[in-house]
Amino acid sequence: MIASAPSADPPARPGDALRAAAAGSGAAAPVLRVSGLTKRYGERVALASLDLALASGQFTALLGPNGAGKSTLFQVLTGLFAADAGDVEVAGHSLRHGAAAALRHIGVVFQQIALDLDLSIRRNLLFHADLHGLPRRLALERIAADCARLGVEPDLERPVRELSGGNRRKVELVRAGLHRPAVLLMDEATVGLDPKSRRDLLAALREDVRERGVCVLWATHWVEEAEAADRVLVLHQGRLLADGTPFEVTAALGGATLEQGFIARTSGPGEGGAR
C-alpha cells in the first residue's frame, strides 16, 4: 500500500499489524518511533516530515535509491545529526530530550566499515563495550559467545587489518549487538561483500530478530534483500513512498515484481532529495 493512504482494514498480516502500531492502536508497541522528522541541507530537503513506527522482532528493509535520504535518516537516528524538526523515540526515550538514554538501545552498522584497523577484534569490541558501560566480565562473555556464533572467535587477537571484508562486517555485527540493543540499524551493510558473506550476515541478523526480538532496520538498494524482509519501507526523495509487506509494496508500486515497481517509481528526474 502507499503510505500516504492508510488502510481501514483490520490488522491481519505483519504489515497491517505494524501500521496499526504506527497509528498507535496498541496492537504492538513500537520500539522505534519517528515523528515528523525533517532534515535539510541548505535548500535541499533530505527528509520531509517522515513518520515511522517499528516494532520488536521485525526485520524491516528500508529500500531507496541513492540520495533517497537513507543515510541521513540513519545519521539522525543515531544522533550524529539533529533533525530540523520532529523527534525520534527509541524504547520510549526521546533522542531530542535524552539522547544518551535513547542511544543505549541502538546498535548500528554504518555503510563504511568503522573498525580500528590497528587493534585486535577483542580490543575493538571491548572499546565499544566500555563506551556502553558493560562490566568487563559480561563483555568478555558476550564477545566470546557472539564471535563464536559468527565464526570469528579464532581471530579474536588478530588485528582487524588482517581480516577479510566479510569478517570485518561480522565483527561490526557483533559490536552492534554487544550491548543487546532493542534496535539494530544496518546502513547498506552488505556493500562490497561476496554472496556467502552477505548470506551469513543476513542469517545472523535473522537469528537476532527471531531469538532476541531485535527490531532491525536494514537500509539497502538491493531489491532482493528487501524481498526477504518482514516489512518494506520505500524511501524516495526524503518521503515514504510505500510501506507494507513485500507483497503489499509490490502491489502498491504497481510493478509485476518489487524490483520493477521500485525502478519505475524511483527513477527519473528530481532524485537526490525533495524540494
Q: Does 255 bind another protein (CB under 8 A)?
A: no
| Of residues 78 and 197, the one with the C-beta less far from another protein | 78
Kindly compute the dihedral angle of the four CA atoms of residues 255, 257, 260, 264, in this order, to the nearest 10 degrees: 30
Name the strand (E) or helix (H) holding 207: helix 195-207
Using CB under 8 A, which of 123, 149, 206, 239 touches another protein? 123
Residue length, the chain?
Answer: 275
| Of residues 88 and 249, the one with the C-beta less far from another protein | 88
Coil, helix or strand for 126? Answer: helix
Q: Which positions from 17 through 76 interact with another protein, judged by CB under 8 A?
A: 29, 31, 39, 41-42, 44, 46-47, 56, 66-72, 75
Residue 53: strand pairing partners: 33
Q: Does 180 bind another protein (CB under 8 A)?
A: yes
| Of residues 179 and 246, the one with the C-beta less far from another protein | 179
User: How distant, in Å, are the alpha carbons of 39, 91, 93, 196, 231 from that of 69?
Assistant: 9, 23, 23, 28, 18
Lookup result for grid cell 557483533: 174
| Of residues 47 and 61, the one with the C-beta less far from another protein | 47
Q: Does 78 bind another protein (CB under 8 A)?
A: yes
Lookup result for grid cell 559468527: 150
| Of residues 239 and 260, the one with the C-beta less far from another protein | 239
Q: Does 103 bind another protein (CB under 8 A)?
A: yes
Q: Does 236 bind another protein (CB under 8 A)?
A: no
- Inter-residue contact 223 to 264 (CB < 8 Å): no
Residue 237 is classified by DSSP as T
| Residues of this chain that bind another protein (CB under 8 A) | 29, 31, 39, 41-42, 44, 46-47, 56, 66-72, 75, 78-82, 90-92, 99-106, 108, 110, 112-119, 123, 126-128, 130-135, 138, 179-183, 212-213, 238, 272-273
